[in-house]
Amino acid sequence: GAVVSQHPSRVICKSGTSVKIECRSLDFQATTMFWYRQFPKQSLMLMATSNEGSKATYEQGVEKDKFLINHASLTLSTLTVTSAHPEDSSFYICSARDVGNTIYFGEGSWLTVV
Amino acid sequence: AQSVTQPDIHITVSEGASLELRCNYSYGATPYLFWYVQSPGQGLQLLLKYFSGDTLVQGIKGFEAEFKRSQSSFNLRKPSVHWSDAAEYFCAVAASGYNKLIFGAGTRLAVHP
C-alpha cells in the first residue's frame, strides 16, 4: 500500500530554537498533505492543509508564523516549529492524499522541547 | 458542521470474542468514511474506507464496516479479536470538498487473553 514517511521520528530541541519535520509520500504524488497534532490519549487536531505550490491553509487558532509549512514538491511537505517552547512538545503526524482521495498517514514525529 | 462521534472511549474484549466499534457521523451529503488504527506512539494505519457502492466494506486484518445511511453510522466489526488488535481506533469523515478529515475521539481497545 501507499507509504508516507516522516522524519525525524523523535527530536529533542532546546527552547527558542527551530526544528523541521519532513513528510514524504514515497510511492505516490500528493498534491495535498495535512499536518496534525496529537496530545496524549487524545484525538488528532488538524493544524493545516498543505497544497503543493501554494500557501498552506491553517485551522483557526493555529499560529502561522510559529508553524511554518512548505509543500515544495508533490512528494514533500515540511513543518517547521519556530522558536519552540516546552508547550510545543507533542506528537505531530502528517498525512497525504492520493489521486483516489484516500488519505495515508505517516508514522508521526515526537517533539520534545527542553 | 461535520462531526464524528465514537460513543465508547474504552472497550475490553476477550481474545477470540467478536468486536463492534461504533461510529456515528453528521454530514449533509454522502460522506467519505474511514477507520484508522493507531498503536501506542505510532502513526495511523488505514483499515478500510467507504466512498460509494457496496455498503459492507472489507478491510485489512479481518476488519469490516457497514455504512448505514439511515442511522448515520459506520460501525467497525471483527468476528474474532486477536491480542495484537489492542490499539486505538479512529473513525473519520471527509468534510465538504474533501479538504480534510474530521476525526472522532477514538476508542481504545483492550484485549484480555
pLDDT tens column, B35-94: 999 998 888 999 999 988 899 999 999 999 999 999 999 999 999 999 999 999 999 998
Closest chain B C-alpha to A77 CA, distance in angstroms? 16
pLDDT in tens, A78-102: 999 999 999 999 999 999 988 888 8
Q: What is the structure's pLDDT at B98?
A: 63
**Residue B28 pLDDT more than 80?**
no
Lowest model confidence (mean pLDDT) among A4-8, A44-48, B31-35, B97-101 = B97-101
Residues of B with CB under 8 A from a CB of A: 32, 34, 36, 41-46, 49, 51, 90, 94, 98-101, 103-106, 108
Q: Both ends of chain B: CA-CA distance in Å? A: 41
Min Cα distance B17 → chain A (Å) is: 25
CA distance B111 to B85: 7
Q: Are strands B24-26 and B56-58 parallel, antiparallel or unpaired?
A: unpaired
Task: Pick the residue from chain A with its C-alpha nearest to B38.
Answer: A107
Q: Between chains, do A46 and B94 touch, taking CB under 8 Å as contact? A: no
The mean pLDDT value for A35-64 works out to 90
Specify burial of residue A53 (Cβ count, 10 A radius: 0-12, 13-18, 19+).
exposed
The C-alpha cell at B86 is 489492542
User: Quick one: pLDDT at residue B96?
Assistant: 57
Mean pLDDT, residues A1-5 taken together? 82
- Provide the CB-side half-sphere exposure for B5 (13 A, CA): 9
Question: Touching check for A27 and chain B: CB below 8 Å?
Answer: no
Q: Which residue has the cell 509543500?
A: A71
Nearest to A103 by CA among B98, B65, B96: B98
pLDDT at residue B97 above 70? no
